[in-house]
Amino acid sequence: MNLMDVENSLKGWLDPYLRQDLFSAKMIKNIIIVDDRVSFEVTLGYPCHDFHPVIVEALTQKVKHDTGAHSVTITITQEIVSHAVQKNLKPLKGVKNIIAVASGKGGVGKSTTAVNLAASLARDGAKVGILDADIYGPSVPHMLGLSGRPEIKPGDRITPKQAFNLDVMSIGFLVDEDQPMIWRGPMVTGALQQLLQQTDWAGIDYLIIDLPPGTGDIQLSLSQQIPVSGAVIVTTPQDIALLDAQRGLKMFQQVNIPVLGLIENMSIHICSHCGHEEALFGEGGGQKMANKYGTDLLGALPLDLSIRHQADEGYPVVIADPDGDIAHRYRDIARRMTAQLALKSRDYSARFPTISVVND
């Protein structure tokens, strides 16, 4: 048994979220071989705390079988790094990665999806924030059971509210619940920039931004001005929703934001009485769109009463029923999303000093 034997063995196990082997993904380090004992480190670039034992067991059995090693010792950790954003922008202070959750149209469950993805990432060991960027219809505070004004510190710095290990900010905290937001595009963009820049985000691995629905001026301006590492598109299988989702996908492509994948919401209805499954909005649309544009279908979510009910109660379903099937679906999607981001280019801007020229 030699180093090449171990490396070849490791290349033979595909991480189900990365969809490639950990060795090729450069997440395996410090392979040490002493007689018939092997040890190495796995440093994952995406959060999946509950999945660590599965990885350890799979790699242990694989290396033992392929190399004849008597013992295999694996140390597994998570290291979330900053990834590249649009070329003309710099990453936001205190935030490693911003992921935009978008939809071409309203009514597809985008905000519910954003909240449950954020909660899933927090459960898997990441430090997560969520910014409700839907100025006209802020719903994130209600879904997380939050209300009231945030603390404003000297210098107009805003302290984000806390819920379920999430840092949360929304225009909904700053206006009355029944106050209509009759603002034009530039006012909306300016307000969101203030919320983003003046909030004291600290040590955030992933800031999930729930973008307003649509692909108009506001969405385009935000995509050009917010330093985004990646985006996901939420759609339903319905043809009309898919047409709008395609516009959203192409918008991100035009501003050089990587699309990490699609999420097909309301893919199937499950009867709460008899368990009968029926594709109310069609089927296969998300996969067809993913194939057409060369991106991934990160997962499909059912039209289920518990998702709506728990959101209305202020407890996302991944918090209310963490061991249920729907919670597992959200966690799988969140892991696939961040695993795709882990394979993207890293941000190295922090390594270079800022140079200024001063005339004496």
In tens, the pLDDT along 326-337 reads: 999 999 999 999
Taking only the tens place, the pLDDT of each residue in 109-147 is 889 999 999 999 999 999 999 999 877 778 899 999 998
Length of the chain: 360
- Helices (runs of H) and strands (runs of E) counted in the chain: 11, 17
Find the mean pLDDT for residues 281-306: 80
* Token reading at 89: 């922008």
pLDDT of 166 strictly over 50: yes
CATH code given to domain 3-78: 3.30.300.130
CA–CA gap between residue 205 and residue 117 (Å, rounded)? 13
DSSP character at residue 324: S
| Parallel/antiparallel/unpaired status of strands 157-158 and 152-153 | antiparallel
Residue 203 has pLDDT above 90, yes or no: yes
- CA-nearest of 11, 153, 103, 85 to 350 is 85
Ramachandran class of 53: left when φ > 0, alpha when ψ lies in -120 to 50, beta otherwise: alpha
- Every domain of the chain and the residues it spans: 3-78, 95-342
CB 261 within 8 A of CB 298: yes
pLDDT for 256-266, tens place per residue? 889 999 998 87
4 compared with 309, residue with greater pLDDT: 4
In this predicted structure, what is the pLDDT of residue 356? 47
What is the architecture, at CATH level 2, of domain 95-342? 3-Layer(aba) Sandwich (3.40)
Q: Is the pLDDT of residue 31 over 60?
A: yes
Say which DSSP state 332 is in.
H
pLDDT for residue 179 is more than 70: no
With 0-12 CB in 10 A as exposed, 13-18 as middle and 19+ as buried, what is 179?
A: exposed
Question: What average pLDDT does range 270-289 have in this prediction?
Answer: 67
